[in-house]
């Protein structure tokens, strides 16, 4: 089992404070070689602060942290040399060409000119940007810039790749292309740490994830484990015409053990959605529309924090 192998990233009681504000409030994590590890949580949960500490660009306020077996406070440059970072927003040099962005960045990792030239050509192909290699960065689309940022983070063949909300703001096609590229990296044995507030992304990409809220880890496990532990197999969603939801709630309250009340709909957690829907009809509930679906990490999150992920 891979769990025997040494951790790539391990944190114990990790804390990040900014003045009197505590962004990360004593978390423990343990990322194993070759896995895709996710931080799921809403904006402000402490995901990015954690990532910046792991990326050795933000000193921890308390606790212990080891990345690639080293201490970021002491060996920052040596750790950064071996990891790749995809920040939340694309930090590209708009006044250089696509290819130059890769080459210039690669040089910072102590790589020779010949090496970064060859690597840039390889990464342009990986990011499907070969035809745009000698164009300036500025006219590229959002998806292309994102792919270039990811390509650039790979210039040193990192053992660990940190991706902070890699697909935020991208259209579905661009997201799927990126996911495909991340799968390939994982196949090559690169360890991925991903933050996201998209459940589908977490379910697609992550072997294991932790749910963060208010700077703390509120749950952790594989996506399937989390769903089976914190949600039922199915969810019945009921939508009502405005004003009728409150009356309906009193009628369905006894049907399932757990009900979430959202502003625009009721979520009934049940082992069998169709049966519950029939029971609701029987109880005289007449929703405007209904939907039976599988539970997702969104439901897990709702259960753990009482809030939706994306507001």
Partner 1 sequence: MTDVLNPTAPARTPPRSTGRPVGSCRGALLVLETMWTWYRRNWKATVFSSVGLPVLYLLAMGLGFGSQVHSGVPGGISYLVYIAPALLPAGAIQTAVGECTFPVLPGFAWSKMYFGVSATPITPGQLLFGELLWVGSRLVVSGAAYLLVALAVGAVTGPGILLSLVFGVCAGLALGAPVIALAASVDSDGRAFNAVFRFVVLPMSLFAGTFFPITQLPAWIRPVAWITPMWHGTELARGAEFGTLGIGPALVHLGCLALVFTVGVLLARWRFRVRLTS
Residues that bind partner 1 (CB under 8 A): 2, 18, 33-35, 55, 57-59, 76-78, 80-83, 85, 87, 89, 91-97, 100, 103-105, 107-111, 115, 156-159, 186-190, 207
Residue found by looking up tokens 């109880």 in the block: 283
Q: How many CB atoms lie within 10 A of CB 84?
A: 24
Q: How many CB atoms lie within 10 A of CB 247?
A: 10
CB of 126 to partner 1, least distance (A): 15
Query: From residue 65, how far is each of 75, 165, 231 by CA, in Å?
Result: 12, 22, 32
Rounded CA gap, 78 and 70, in Å? Answer: 9
- Closer to partner 1 by CB, 47 or 80: give it: 80
The tokens for 52 are: 């910046």
The tokens for 142 are: 């959002």
- Closer to partner 1 by CB, 120 or 279: give it: 120
The helix or strand, by DSSP H or E, that contains position 195, with its residue range, turns out to be strand 191-196
CB of 108 to partner 1, least distance (A): 4
CB of 52 to partner 1, least distance (A): 8
Q: What is the DSSP letter of 127?
A: T
What is the distance, to the nearest Å, from the Cα of residue 163 to the centroid of all Cα atoms in its chain?
Answer: 8
- Closer to partner 1 by CB, 96 or 292: give it: 96
The tokens for 263 are: 């502003």
CB of 205 to partner 1, least distance (A): 10
CB of 231 to partner 1, least distance (A): 22
- Closer to partner 1 by CB, 100 or 128: give it: 100
- Closer to partner 1 by CB, 54 or 178: give it: 54
CB of 180 to partner 1, least distance (A): 13
292: left (phi over 0), alpha (psi -120 to 50) or beta: beta
Rounded CA gap, 197 and 211, in Å? Answer: 10
- Closer to partner 1 by CB, 107 or 216: give it: 107
């Amino acid at each position: 089992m891979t769990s025997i192998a040494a951790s790539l990233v391990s944190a114990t009681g990790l804390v990040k404070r900014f003045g009197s504000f505590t962004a990360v409030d004593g978390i423990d994590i343990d990322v194993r070689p070759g896995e895709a590890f996710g931080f799921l949580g809403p904006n402000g949960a402490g995901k990015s602060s954690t990532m910046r500490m792991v990326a050795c660009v933000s000193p921890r306020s308390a606790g212990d942290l080891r990345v690639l077996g080293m201490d970021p406070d002491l060996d920052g440059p040596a750790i950064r040399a071996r990891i790749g970072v995809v920040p939340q927003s694309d930090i590209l040099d708009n006044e250089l060409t696509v290819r130059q962005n890769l080459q210039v960045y690669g040089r910072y990792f102590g790589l020779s000119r010949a090496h970064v030239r060859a690597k840039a050509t390889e990464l342009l192909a990986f990011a499907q940007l070969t035809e745009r290699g000698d164009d300036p960065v500025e006219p590229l689309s959002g998806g292309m810039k994102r792919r270039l940022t990811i390509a650039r983070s790979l210039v040193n063949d990192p053992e660990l790749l940190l991706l902070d909300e890699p697909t935020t703001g991208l259209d579905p096609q661009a997201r799927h292309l990126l996911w495909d590229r991340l799968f390939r990296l994982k196949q090559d044995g690169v360890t991925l740490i991903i933050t996201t507030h998209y459940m589908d992304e977490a379910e697609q990409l992550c072997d294991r994830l932790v749910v963060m809220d208010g700077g703390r880890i509120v749950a952790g496990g594989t996506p399937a484990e989390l769903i089976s532990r914190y949600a039922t197999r199915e969810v019945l969603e009921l939508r009502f015409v405005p004003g009728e939801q409150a009356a309906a709630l009193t009628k369905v309250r006894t049907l399932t053990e757990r009900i979430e009340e959202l502003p625009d709909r009721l979520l009934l957690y049940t082992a069998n959605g169709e049966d519950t829907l029939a029971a609701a009809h029987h109880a005289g509930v007449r929703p405007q529309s209904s939907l039976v679906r599988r539970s997702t990490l969104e439901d897990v999150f709702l259960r753990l924090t009482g809030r939706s992920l994306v507001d």
